[in-house]
């Protein structure tokens, strides 16, 4: 996945209920034009408030403001030129991107695989990187269905081993 000036890729099928999303993302730093180690961004349980039944009714590139009308959870891992790792909860309003958690580590490592696991189970959201729990958030008004997507800007990632499945026992988190 190459992200020049911003790009996004979202799943065409909506995710419903308790589930797990896993993938391995390797930030590529090999001297290419977009080989900047930054911005492994992903969103899940995304619904566009302007067209709740069709996330793709509105075209998007990678500009951050193009996602403001989503209700979604959003992780910016290694964001801001690989200086922050953040969890946001978008509320579907232009210019409103509430920041829930903001860390200065962990960050991306060039040419090293990052195994991501996202667990969405009712009001509980958990996000791991390489077995380390990075975000553990309980939402009093959870988003429980919607699309998953990647967003990046001026970056190059190799995405592998992408899997999605339902939790067989909601409330029991795979670690």
Q: Would you place residue 3 in the very low, low, confident or very high pLDDT band (cuts 50, 70, 90)?
A: very low
Predicted confidence band at 151 (pLDDT cuts at 50, 70, 90)?
A: confident
pLDDT at 171: 60
Which whole number is the average pLDDT over 155-166? Answer: 93
Q: Which of 6-15, 31-40, 125-134, 161-170 has the lowest mean pLDDT?
A: 6-15
Fold of 2-166: Jelly Rolls (2.60.120)
State the average pLDDT for the chain. Answer: 89
| pLDDT the model gives residue 153 | 81
pLDDT, mean of residues 85-102? 97
CA distances from 76 to 45, 148, 174 (A): 15, 14, 22
């Amino acid at each position: 996945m190459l992200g020049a000036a911003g790009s996004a890729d979202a799943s065409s099928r909506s995710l419903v209920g308790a589930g797990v999303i896993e993938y391995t993302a390797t930030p590529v730093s090999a001297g290419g034009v977009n080989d900047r180690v930054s911005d492994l961004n992903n969103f899940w349980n995304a619904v566009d408030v302007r067209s709740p039944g069709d996330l793709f009714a509105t075209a998007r590139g990678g500009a951050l403001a193009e996602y403001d009308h989503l209700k979604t959870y959003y992780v910016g891992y290694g964001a801001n030129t690989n200086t922050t790792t953040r969890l946001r909860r978008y509320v579907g309003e232009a210019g409103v991107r509430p920041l829930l958690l903001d860390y200065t580590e962990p960050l991306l490592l060039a040419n090293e695989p990052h195994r991501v696991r996202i667990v969405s189970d009712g009001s509980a959201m958990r996000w791991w990187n390489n077995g380390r729990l990075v975000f553990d958030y309980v939402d009093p008004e959870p988003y429980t269905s919607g699309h998953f997507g990647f967003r990046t800007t001026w970056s190059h990632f190799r995405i592998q081993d992408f899997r999605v499945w339902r939790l067989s026992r909601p409330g029991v988190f795979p670690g």
